[in-house]
Structure 1
Amino acid sequence: MGTTIFSQINHARTADEVCAQIETLILEGVLRVGDKLPGERDLSEQLGISRPILREALKDLEARELLVTRHGGGTFVADVIGDVFSKTMLELIADHPKATSDYLEYRREVEAIAAAYAARRATDDDRALLTEIILRMEEAHKKEDFRDEAAIDVEFHQAICEAAHNLILLHTLRSCYRLLTNGTFFSRSLVYRAPGARTLLLKQHRAIYEAIMEADPEAAAAAAAAHMEFVEESKREAEKVGAWQTVSKLRRQMRNAD
């Protein structure tokens, strides 16, 4: 890790203190799933502890499934988020369209709360990160890079829930975004590839961003809710057009056969 996020332990140099610091970094979302910890020598120096104490702490965290060690590859943050639903439930969801509508309805409400909190609580570093992300989003939009734009979309929403500084919101929404990126509920290409949708989505993201920058929780919540309503409506329209195209193609095939 290029940036030092660990602080020296100046009192009671024990494995428990090391565990507590790493636990907090994971809980606050500073250390994310898959992040690699510095090597043993570097980490012990950053924490100001002996390597035996560090080994004891890492062993304890690994036993509690917060960290995972890959032979010859280092130590990483384990998948502490996990899946919201079991494999069986995911299969049921995939077969029932109502689940997608409920997912988007849930996100509409929760995203609005997260945006409002972010407008109230965002720090200078939070705002700087959001600014960096929105600029990259605009650059991807100019290049008409759908994949990059969609990936930055999720990153933008994750940064907002981090700026909300609410641990439950943070990890709940991260689970929701995982389901989105995995395509559990719907393909985002349905929305992004609809005529004019990319430009409208960018405008909506900037509205959320500007409300947070201006510390206006009401405007931020309204912008986030409007954005999710647009996503839901765009998805419905895209699926409707897709169904029409399927029927039209079948009709044409039948006429040609005659």
Structure 2
Amino acid sequence: MDAVFSRIEHARTADGVIRQIETLILEGVLRDGDRLPGERELARQLDVSRPILRDALKTLEERGLILTRHGGGTYVADIIGQVFTKPVRELIATHHKATADYLEYRREMEAVAAEFAAKRATPEDLVLLAAIMKRMDEAHAAEDFEAEAACDVEFHNAVGECAHNIVLLHTLRACYRLLADGVFLNRARIYELSDARDTLLAQHRAIHAAIAAGDPEAARAAAIAHIDFVEKATFHAERTDDWQRISRLRLQQRGGEAAQA
């Protein structure tokens, strides 16, 4: 992490350390679960004394931004997962309208994120985005659903990072956490639909290509087309599940009647 933390300039105080780590978390450089360097190494990188560093880490932990595992180091806390509390997640997971609202919200937010990303992505951003796209291509070719689904979430997270808007970044991360946890969508059911995996890959490639080309209008349109497809595929998957449920009930009922005859 030598490129992440930098020497505290001017007054070497706990406040300077707190400010730097807070900013790294806010800007999305440090993510939940990321491990900080050991105390000695981090003090060296920041060029502060270890007592100052301890004071700063204590304050950050009290604020809920980091956590220390006994004998296991210091980590960035799961602040994104707490945006939607467990009771709220359970509530929206049991109400069908929430899925439609979730996709409607994502359509608008991802359109903005893709547009901003096409305008603002740095060369370093594009390197990261291309690497994720490459892993997605490889997972698709290997028919590794779990890896492909993970790359899907990581790709959208990266587009949010490329947009360079802090509020948009963390809002989208909260949305993707719900997606990754399966609160709204059963992505496995969508991937099972005919040609869905190929279509989704092509759509991710289109978003990536538009951002890499610096074309905001194309990026926005590609993001909207992607969510429109996900919405239709979700509806179709839900209808298919319902058809199967009804068919099983009919078969069960007919079988019961046959047994009685």
- Normalised-by-shorter TM-score class: over 0.9
Q: Distance in 1 between matches of 2:182 and 2:5?
A: 35
Q: How does 1:76-87 map to 2 (within 5 A)?
A: 76-87=75-86
One-letter code aligned to 1:66: L
**What are the within-5 Å matches in structure 2 for residues 29-108 of structure 1?**
29-108=28-107
| Match runs of 1:156-167 below 5 Å | 156-167=155-166
Same amino acid, percent of matched pairs: 62
CA–CA distance in structure 2, aligned partners of residues 64 and 86 of structure 1: 18
Q: Which moved more, 1:131-140 or 1:84-93?
A: 84-93
Amino acid at match of 2:76: V
Distance change (3 Å), C-alpha of 1:53 and 1:84: closer
Counterpart in the other structure of 1:192:
191
Secondary structure of the 2:183 match is: coil
Q: TM-score normalized by structure 2?
A: 0.95
Q: After superposing the two structures, state which structure 1 stretch, 124-133 or 45-54, moved more.
A: 45-54
Contact 1:36 1:74 in 2 (8 A): yes
Q: Which of structure 1's runs of 4+ aligned residues deviate more than 6 A?
A: none
Partners of 1:85 and 1:54 in 2: CA distance: 31
Shift of 1:182: 0.9
Amino acid across the alignment from 1:56: D
Aligned counterparts of 1:89 and 1:9: Cα–Cα separation in 2 = 40
* Contact 1:4-1:46 at 8 Å conserved across structures: no
Greater alpha carbon shift after TM alignment, 92-101 vs 168-177: 92-101
Equivalent residue, structure 1, for 2:11? 12
State how far apart, in whole Å, the 2-side matches of 1:239 and 1:219 are: 30
1:54 Cα deviation after fit: 1.0
Q: Which is worse superposed, 75-84 or 13-22?
A: 75-84
Q: Does the 8 Å contact 1:204/1:227 carry over to 2?
A: yes
Number of equivalent positions: 257
1:89, 1:139 → 2: CA distance? 36
Q: For 2:88 and 2:57, locate their aligned partners in 1 and report how far apart those are by CA, in whole Å.
A: 34
Give unpaired runs (5+ residues) of structure 1.
Answer: none
CA–CA distance in 2 between the matches of 1:80 and 1:39? 21
Q: Could you tell me which residue of structure 2 aligns to residue 129 of structure 1? A: 128
Q: Distance in 2 between matches of 1:196 and 1:236?
A: 16
SS at match of 1:144: coil
Is the contact between residue 28 and residue 167 of structure 1 (CA under 8 Å) also seen in structure 2? Answer: yes
Write the distance in 2 (CA, Å) between the matches of 1:81 and 1:146.
Answer: 25
DSSP-derived class of the 1:11 partner:
coil
SS of 2:68's equivalent in the other structure is strand
Q: What are the superposed Cα offsets for residues 97-143 of structure 1, whole Å, 9 maximum, x if unpaired?
A: 11101001100110000000000000001000010000110000000
Is the 2:139–2:147 contact (alpha carbons within 8 Å) kept by the matching residues of 1?
yes
User: In 2, are the aligned partners of 1:9 and 1:48 still within 8 Å (CA)?
Assistant: yes
Q: CA deviation at 1:207?
A: 0.3
**CA-CA distance at 1:189 after TM superposition:** 0.8
Question: Contact 2:99/2:184 (CA < 8 Å) preserved in 1?
Answer: yes
